Amino acid sequence: MERSLEELLSNFQFQKVLKNDPKEKTLVILGLIDDNDAIVFLEKSHFNVDQGSFKVGDIIKEIRLINNNDVYFWSSALIKHSLPDTPSGKVNIIYPATEAHIKKYEEQRVHYITETPEMYATYVKPYIESMKGDRIKWVYNILFHGKESETFVYHDKDPDSGFVLLPDMKWDKVNMDSLYLCCIVNRCDISSIRDLNSSHISFLENLKRKIIAITCATYPIKPDELRIFVHYQPSYYHFHIHVVNLMHQGLGNGIAAGRAILLDDVIENLKLVPEYYQVRNLNYFIGENHGLWSIEGFREENAKGYSSN
């Protein structure tokens, strides 16, 4: 029997702060629930404003002046919130949390990687294979066992061209400026962009068309207001696509150069060079807690690239 969110939080015993980001207004803390590691991710919500009836006084509960100078005034304030339309924040829980989860969210130094095709074949591909199976069981639960089906925006069960489109856990499903959907494909033969070649162009173009059509029919957003992209390295190795409102800037490294690659660019690259992602170096950044950084040969090969320049 699954435990409620309230029960999990009431049993949470704080251990330490993994990350506190003042820019993204997020706090990630590590603790224990029944002697098992657990991660609680807290995020302050973006303002949800109805421009037709908005009054600033309606959302300010209490205000206290910090200082003023000429035409400038700054203060501390308590903002009125209510559920479900104007939440003050989001709370996500990972339980039981693995060591990999903890390392992912913990503050860490970051390194720039130039991954050659040879490095991919020798180090990255075996690592990817080791990260499948039970490590992405939750993905298979969504695709094939109906988990989270109540949240699906769209589900095409075709084994070759089908996919699930659903809200990402980063979105509160209230504020449209922070709209964030994830498209997870049914086919299991694509782990990352390294597996893509020109034979996948029509598949990717069809995905893009459907994602845009479904998203814009479901939500009040236009096609040219969407950022559609993939990650390399991705956070899990089953091909998936991120669909985000362009207005949503609070994604941190999720949309940074060296991580995010626009789906349109992926498609154009494959049209120019059929084996583009098999033959070129891929440049990206990873943290020291990433599993790849723990592979000595991977680090040494990356260092050689700098020493030869």
Q: Flag whether 290 is marked binding.
A: no
What does the domain layout of the chain look like in residue ranges? 5-90, 109-307
Cα separation, 160 vs 200, in Å, equals: 11
Cα separation, 209 vs 222, in Å, equals: 13
Q: In this structure, what are the phi and psi dihedrals at residue 275, rounded to the nearest 5 degrees? A: -105, 35
- Based on the residue annotation, tell me whether 240 is a catalytic residue of this protein: yes
HSE of 239, CA atoms in CB hemisphere, 13 A: 21
Cα separation, 264 vs 276, in Å, equals: 14
Task: Categorize the per-residue pLDDT at 255 as very low, low, confident or very high, splitting at 50, 70 and 90.
Answer: confident
**Catalytic annotation, pick one of 200, 240, 248, 290:** 240
**C-alpha dihedral sign at 212, 218, 219, 221:** positive
Mean pLDDT over 236-251 rounds to 90
Cα–Cα nearest to 42, from 94, 80, 2, 89: 89
pLDDT for 6-65, tens place per residue? 999 999 999 999 988 877 788 999 999 999 999 998 988 877 766 666 777 778 888 888
Question: So what's the pLDDT on residue 50?
Answer: 67
Domain 109-307 has what CATH class?
A: alpha beta
Q: Flag whether 168 is marked binding.
A: yes
Evaluate if pTM is beyond 0.85.
Answer: no
Does the fold of domain 109-307 match that of domain 5-90? no
Cα–Cα nearest to 238, from 194, 184, 276, 275: 184
Q: Flag whether 234 is marked binding.
A: yes
What is the CATH code for 5-90? 3.30.200.40
Q: Flag whether 108 is marked binding.
A: no
Question: So what's the pLDDT on residue 135?
Answer: 87
